[in-house]
Amino acid sequence: MDSLSGRSAIVTGGARGIGAAVVRSLTEEDFGVVVADILEREGRELADRLGDAAIFHVLDVTDETQWRQTLRDAEATYGPPAVLINNAGIVDFAGVEAESPAMFRHVVDVNLYGSWLGMHVCAPAIRAAGGGVIVNMSSTAGLIGYAGVGGYVASKWGLRGVTKAAALELGPDNVRVCSVHPGPIHTPMTAVLSESTAAYQPLPRFGEPDEVAAMVRFLVTEATFSTGSEFVCDGGATAGRTLDLADVS
């Protein structure tokens, strides 16, 4: 941690939900954090509350020019980049037949291409500064399939794969790259889901953004021998289903 502290961190989708929790957590670790998002009001309010520890920057993660400006501002304000958290993401609740081609591409563009673009732009600077950490926010949808969100599932499986490719490429230069796979978490994105969605899990509840942020913080500050790996925060959702012995004859 000592070699990374005091440098800059960029958190996409940082204005609210999991992203905002990650921003708050990283400021506690002496990073200067860029809250990067298209949600200006929420992002500026969060940065203002955090004072000198954070700034807000408008970022459409699919726009290379905006990425490069975000990186320049991070370096100018807080110094060389140490951490990139690719958290920005969207979902379209539509099945394979119902989802429009345009929306499928948009989901993949934001969730997968946007994260790849962030690594493409920021990895050289992180490497040149002596190393750092990239965390890509995937999902349990990057580990198993879900009906009704085909574009989302495709993007999150793809993000899991490109994480491994980047880890192999960047590891020799002391850049660790891991993916985090949250299950149902209380965020604006999941507000349409019933609480019963989590009823079958070993921990039958939705998680909280701070619980995911704690895992991200661990990856950044403690997991110094981990790269290319999946870290799951899902209440046991991907462990399987409990067998009801009352149904066994």
pLDDT at res. 243: 60
Domain residues for the domain of 112 are 8-233
Contact 109, 69 (CB under 8 A): no
Question: Is 1 among the domain residues?
Answer: no
pLDDT at res. 241: 74
- Is residue 152 annotated as part of the catalytic site, yes or no? yes
Q: Which of 78, 113, 146, 152 is catalytic?
A: 152
For residue 187, what are its two tokens? 């965020």
- Phi, psi dihedral angles at 192 (to 5 degrees): -80, -10
pLDDT at res. 242: 67
Report how many domains make up the chain. Answer: 1
What CATH number should be reported for the domain holding residue 81? 3.40.50.720
Question: Is 222 among the domain residues?
Answer: yes
pLDDT at res. 5: 82
pLDDT below 50 — which residues of the chain? 1, 249
The one-character DSSP state at 129 is T
Question: Is 3 among the domain residues?
Answer: no
Question: Is 161 among the domain residues?
Answer: yes
pLDDT at res. 1: 44
Question: Is 227 among the domain residues?
Answer: yes
pLDDT at res. 244: 59
pLDDT at res. 55: 98
- Class of residue 103 by CB neighbours under 10 A (exposed 0-12, middle 13-18, buried 19+): middle
Q: Output the CA angle 65-68-122, nearest 5 degrees.
A: 135
Question: Is 90 among the domain residues?
Answer: yes
